[in-house]
Amino acid sequence: MSDIIYKPGHEPHPRETRRIFRNIDRVGYTPSIDSFIKDGGYETLKKVIKTEPASIIDEVKKSGLRGRGGAGFPTGVKWTFIPKGNTKPVYLICNCDESEPGTFKDRFIVHQDPHQLLEGMIIACYAVQAHYAIIYMREEFPEAAKIMRTALKEAEQHHFLGKNILGSGYDLRIILHRGAGAYICGEETGLINSIEGVRPYPRIKPPFFPAAIGLYGCPTIVNNVESLCQVRQVLMRGGEAYATDGAQRSPGTRIIGVSGDVKRPGYYEIISGSITYGELLYDLCGGPREGRTFKAIIPGGASAKVMSCTEVLKGRNPDGSVRKMSIFDVPMDLDSIAQHGSMSGSGGVIVMDDSRSMPEMLRNLNRFFAWESCGQCTPCREGNPWMLKLSERICAGKAAPEDVDLLKSVADNICGRTVCAFGEACSWPVQAFTTKFREEFLARTQPINALKPHNPETAEARKFLSRED
Amino acid sequence: MSSQQEQLPKDAAAAEGKVNVQINGKWYRFPKGTRIADACNSVGIHVPCFCYHPKLSVAGSCRMCLVEQGMPPRLAPGATPTYNDDGYQTIQWMPRAVVACANTVAENMGIRTDGTVCREARRAVLEFLLTNHPLDCPICDQAGECKLQEYTADYGQPSHRFTEAKIKKGKNISIGPRVNLDQERCVLCRRCVRFMKEIVGEEILGVVGRGGHNAIACFPGKTLDSNYSMNVVDICPVGAMTSKDFRFKMRVWFLKSTPTIDTNCGTGTNIFIWSREQQIYRITPRQNDAVNSCWMPDNHRLNYKYINSEKRILTPLVKTDVGAPQRPGAWEPTLRAVSEQLRRCNPKQTAIIVSARLTNEELYLAGNLAQLLGISQLDIVPRSGEPDGMLICADRNPNTTGAKLILDKDGRTLDDIRLGIKNGKIRHLIVIGEDVTAEAAIPESHLSKLDYLLVIDHSETATTRAADVVLPGVTFAEKYGTMVNITGRLQRLNKAIEPLGASRADWDILRSLLQGSGGDMSLLTARAQSPMEILDEIAAQFPAFKGVSWAAVGNSGIPITETGETIPLIEREQTKQ
């Protein structure tokens, strides 16, 4: 599309494919419905609203589209979890609580191209026959909320929303619900509880998906902002055409948000699997800062396991033989990185160069997770403050070498024993950092510290243990 | 082989609506939909739980009940399952433990509580729970009946790796008139929150704060003043919720618990009386799903102080002359004198007022006494109040149904007795277990007109003060007996403490009077030496009690008659299921 002019500094790299971000930072493009319609907006909706809802679900299943919120669950399959013969209302919730540190893709969509989301959402609602949908927007997006409200009004005025949409007889109401600033509200069942007005404690599994029992006990589909935009792309291109794009098991484009120590941090939309982490960091992002070398990469938001740039990974050649590779050789799709023990998650790539201290980085992450733990279940509630205190002590040079092992052991005790995936989110970084950068942690410790009291209570209590008289 | 033998265990179980589950290597059969925790506990394999309570919704948040679980491997498309010699599929164990409270059993499921996965999970959870716990067991009321203490001893580790500063939270917070909260001891199981919301239906308690600063608190402007508030103390697995009444009074391991029933209303809530020596320290509800589930109202729970009060009459009291003060007397001469007096009374001028707080056995003996003396004017004192739509019923007598069955009296002729006393037609009155001045509206001035007033009661009242003879009876905690609640359920009273002082159980006094004044023991065989034997007598005479025996009643009671009455809380619980 040569007629699209982007703002200076936001021009796409030749290896990028701007589909979802086609109109982001585009000269002359506003969040208004007119801009969107001029760009071919709502045409897909007009086309599909005449078809059967089941055919839309089929199309999305055929496309192989996987959710973009982090877990990568196939979107079409999720939709089919609504119980057969359901008589309750079906709700669709757009999860716009993008809070994963390092992730900033949805914010561009809701700030600059809200109608793209609305169109995808209306299509999705029609597919699952939801007549009431909610955009759950995080508290930290006050501007986006204003923009989205205007967009909802505009869509209603153009009969894309409301009663009898485009004369199809299908009714849909979308409301905007603001969060109050909690990471855990991004967990779909925590989000549902938040909408219900109770504490956003994630719900116990099973049921594993709210599609069976969700908002107010009714079948509920929770989809990420980007996923819903991708739904529009699927219907625009056709499921089969979409499936052929990019990596076989995770087709379509991916939006990568790169932050940290690279020359050009920012968003990049690429065909899934078309480039490697090395190409992303060196070609698209321009490599490390002057005089620096890359040290570590968190490939998918703060909760993904950190990858050391020097660690040797085992890759498989097409003939089945094993070859040595590094993180830079791993293609950017959902599954490749998972084979090496991390995850591509929400696409937030955090890059650290050799100027960064790993214990400090971990302490920062621990502080985030300790603050954001909802406190519902024991391991996460009690383990996170413990891990924070340990890592703070390591950073302050008041820890003994065995404290590093203790830190990892606490993470091991949280992982896999919690109500929701937060347990993994908070323990994976600790496990990965302390294992892969163990030497760096040990360097901050001193054996003598094991004998020193390091909390005021113990110091006070010791007075009674040794009596001078 | 017959087709019966060829049948696989799964089909045999399915025919009964059950599933086969392997627990620690042994196969069991459970009904479909049984929770893993309940299944394990039912076969004697203990699964520790903090947040799970069978009467409340499942929270699944304490993670204490983690168990190792396995299922048969998922089959490749088109493959058929293979069975071992016993007819079971092999179990593929999952690396992650699952919560036993939120998951239900399934066919060919395996559960392990004795493996490393489960043991490590429990140890880790206990270690976490103790990181910010104040470890103040020596001064904690819950010590001795604390789940955290028990599980730590059973599944925990001897030392702690946590050496950081603990998170500080609120202590000794008065969250209601009867309950105190210690947020630091709390394990945040939220049983109290769920109880108030789901059982009481009032949202008073909630959780505030984020992450490690989570704490139980009342919602702004609210206090935990429900009449069911003290149930949160019972269900609190740790010492976070404590009863203001019981705090610091006694270490629980010194207390003896006696299963018995509450006598404050017709519901007959099942309770434990907790006593040491001759002192009662607290009353807690005892589970009976047909009567009170796991709960009881606060005002009933706290109504035990009169048992050890100064007002108790501990010896027989005798007024030797008109206008003379009551003087303590010995039992045998007093009983002889009373029996003689009763024989002399004109039965037409004599009335008996009995209490529907007496046991069936006592009512039976009172009936026999009336029959023996030829007294026809006998009735109970009805007592009623507002029902609370939960466990407190309108009938505030615990044994109205029993009185109806045994004496065929329900208080309707009380007016005649009252009138008879007023206009002097009744000259002699026997009152058993009632303060008629307060409860039956017979003023003291009318009582003083009587020629003879015999009162059997446990505490001093205006009626006992007016009496010519007072025989000290006992409270419900000091005797055996049975009562029939409003729904027609026969339940047992058990003796928690011995009769105080020289007082005697009411049935014992009545039996002595019967023997002393009649001589003809045909009405009461010589066998009837105890309430249990008197119950046998009743069983032989009253159709409703047919086949009933002390042992058959048991601690949970048996329904013996239909009254049409129901207990609202139990109704709700059953419809929920």
The Cα-based distances of B91 to B19, B30, B75 in angstroms read 15, 18, 12
| b/e code B145-181 from CB counts within 10 Å (16+ = b) | bbbbbebbeebbeeeeebbbebbebeeebebbebbbb
CATH 3.30.360.10 fits B137-308, yes or no: no
- The pLDDT value recorded for residue A2 is 52
Using a CB–CB cutoff of 8 Å, tell me whether A426 touches chain B.
no
Using a CB–CB cutoff of 8 Å, tell me whether A374 touches chain B.
yes
Please report where in the chains the tokens 């909320």 appear, as a residue: A145
- The pLDDT value recorded for residue B387 is 96
Residues of A in contact with B61 (CB under 8 A): 201, 204, 376-378, 419
Using the 8-state DSSP alphabet, how is residue B247 labeled?
T
DSSP string of B326-369, one letter each residue: EEE--HHHHHHHHHHHHHHS-GGGEEEEE-TTS-HHHHHHHHHH
Using the 8-state DSSP alphabet, how is residue A183 labeled?
G
Residues of B in contact with A400 (CB under 8 A): none
Using the 8-state DSSP alphabet, how is residue B39 labeled?
H
Strands (E), B134-183: 173-174, 179-181
In A, residues 39-98, which contact B (CB 8 Å cutoff)?
A: none
Alpha-carbon distance of B525 to B544, in angstroms, equals: 21
CATH 3.10.20.740 fits B3-76+83-129, yes or no: yes
SS3 B187: coil
Residue of B nearest to A412 (CA): B124
Residue A304's H or E segment, with its range, is none
Using a CB–CB cutoff of 8 Å, tell me whether B58 touches chain A.
yes
Residue of B nearest to A375 (CA): B211
Using a CB–CB cutoff of 8 Å, tell me whether B71 touches chain A.
no
Verify whether the Cβ–Cβ distance B164 to A383 is below 8 Å. no
DSSP string of A317-342, one letter each residue: -TTS-EEEE-GGGSBSSHHHHHTTT-
Verify whether the Cβ–Cβ distance B211 to A384 is below 8 Å. yes
Residues of B in contact with A374 (CB under 8 A): 210-211, 214
Please report where in the chains the tokens 């032989």 appear, as a residue: B540
Verify whether the Cβ–Cβ distance B162 to A455 is below 8 Å. no
Using a CB–CB cutoff of 8 Å, tell me whether B212 touches chain A.
yes
Low-confidence ranges of chain A (pLDDT < 50): 1
Q: Are B155 and B127 in contact (CB under 8 A)?
A: no
Residue B371, classified by CB atoms within 10 Å of its CB into exposed (0-12), middle (13-18) or buried (19+), is middle
SS3 B199: helix
| Helix, strand, coil % over all residues of chain B, rounded to 5 | 30, 20, 50
Using a CB–CB cutoff of 8 Å, tell me whether B207 touches chain A.
yes
- The pLDDT value recorded for residue B293 is 95
Q: Which of A99, A183, A378, A384 to mutate to test the interface with B (most CBs of B within 10 A)?
A: A378
In angstroms, the separation between the Cα of residue A374 and the nearest Cα of chain B is: 5
Its ipTM equals: 0.94
Residue of B nearest to A369 (CA): B211
Q: Where are the alpha helices (DSSP H) in B132-198?
A: 147-155, 191-194
Nearest Cα to Cα of residue A181 among A218, A140, A120, A132:
A140
In angstroms, the separation between the Cα of residue A191 and the nearest Cα of chain B is: 16
SS3 B20: strand
Facing B63 at nearest CB: one of A182, A378, A454 = A378
Using a CB–CB cutoff of 8 Å, tell me whether A390 touches chain B.
yes
Q: Where are the alpha helices (DSSP H) in B374-435?
A: 400-406, 414-422
Using a CB–CB cutoff of 8 Å, tell me whether A377 touches chain B.
yes
Residue A214, classified by CB atoms within 10 Å of its CB into exposed (0-12), middle (13-18) or buried (19+), is buried
Q: Which of A386, A387, A414, A420 to mutate to test the interface with B (most CBs of B within 10 A)?
A: A386
Alpha-carbon distance of B509 to B491, in angstroms, equals: 22
Residues of B in contact with A416 (CB under 8 A): 95-97
Residues of B in contact with A204 (CB under 8 A): 58-61, 99, 102
What top-level class would CATH report for the domain B317-572? Answer: alpha beta
Facing B167 at nearest CB: one of A385, A418, A419 = A385
Domain-wise residue ranges, chain B: 3-76+83-129, 137-308, 317-572
- The pLDDT value recorded for residue B1 is 41
pLDDT digit of tens for each residue in chain B (577 aa)? 444 457 889 899 999 999 999 999 999 999 999 999 999 999 999 999 999 999 999 999 999 999 999 999 988 888 888 899 889 999 999 999 999 999 999 999 999 999 999 999 999 999 999 999 999 999 999 999 999 999 999 999 999 899 999 999 999 999 999 999 999 999 999 999 999 999 999 999 999 999 999 999 999 999 999 999 999 999 999 999 999 999 999 999 999 999 999 999 999 999 999 999 999 999 999 999 999 999 999 999 999 999 999 999 999 999 988 778 999 999 999 999 999 999 999 999 999 999 999 999 999 999 999 998 999 999 999 999 999 999 999 999 999 999 999 999 999 999 999 999 999 999 999 999 999 999 999 999 999 999 999 999 999 999 999 999 999 999 999 999 999 999 999 999 999 999 999 999 999 999 999 888 875 555 556 567 899 999 999 999 999 999 999 999 999 999 999 999 999 999 999 998 7
Torsion on CA atoms A329, A333, A337, A339, rounded to nearest 10 = -110
In angstroms, the separation between the Cα of residue B122 and the nearest Cα of chain A is: 10
Please report where in the chains the tokens 């069942």 appear, as a residue: A189
- The pLDDT value recorded for residue B70 is 95
The pTM score is 0.93
Q: Which of B210, B213, B219, B238 to mutate to test the interface with A (most CBs of A within 10 A)?
A: B210
Nearest Cα to Cα of residue A84 among A221, A205, A219:
A219
Using a CB–CB cutoff of 8 Å, tell me whether A449 touches chain B.
no
- The pLDDT value recorded for residue B577 is 75
In B, residues 117-156, which contact A (CB 8 Å cutoff)?
A: 120-121, 124-125, 127-129, 131-132
In angstroms, the separation between the Cα of residue A3 and the nearest Cα of chain B is: 50
Q: Which of B35, B61, B193 to mutate to test the interface with A (most CBs of A within 10 A)?
A: B61
Alpha-carbon distance of B349 to B397, in angstroms, equals: 27
Using a CB–CB cutoff of 8 Å, tell me whether B63 touches chain A.
yes
Q: What angle do CA B24, B30, B33 make, to 5 degrees?
A: 110
Verify whether the Cβ–Cβ distance B124 to A413 is below 8 Å. yes
* A207 upstream amide cis, omega within 30 of 0: yes
